[in-house]
Amino acid sequence: MSKLPAITAEKLIKILEKDGFTFIRQKGSHRFYEKIIDGESVVIPIPVHHRRELKKETLHHILKKAQISRERLKFLLSI
């Protein structure tokens, strides 16, 4: 199993938008993105701290909730 890449919140937001998530609101330093997956609304909070990389655990939980595999993440990073 390969390691997750170190990415910033801004880069993750671009990846989520490529995967169909849309911005719905912001509260403090967190932006919330939404997508309908299997008929259910999935809302994901993204902690946005200027130019700081996300912690690996945080990135892992966000990708799991968004149902984005490591392979899909690599693909979305490449386009």
Please report, as a single letter, which amino acid is at residue 76. Answer: L
pLDDT tens-place string over residues 9-29: 999 999 999 999 999 999 999
- Top pLDDT among 12 and 79 is at 12
Could you read off the pLDDT of 38-47 as tens digits, one per residue?
Answer: 999 999 999 9
- The pLDDT of residue 49 is above 70: yes
Q: Which of 24, 12, 18 is nearest to 49 (CA)?
A: 12
Kindly state the average pLDDT of the residues 53-76.
96
Region for 28 from its dihedrals, namely left if φ exceeds 0, alpha if ψ lies in -120 to 50, beta otherwise: left
Strand, helix or coil for residue 7: coil
Backbone angles phi, psi at 66, to 5 degrees: -80, -5
Domains contained in the chain, CATH given? 9-78 (3.30.920.30)
pLDDT averaged over every residue in the chain: 95
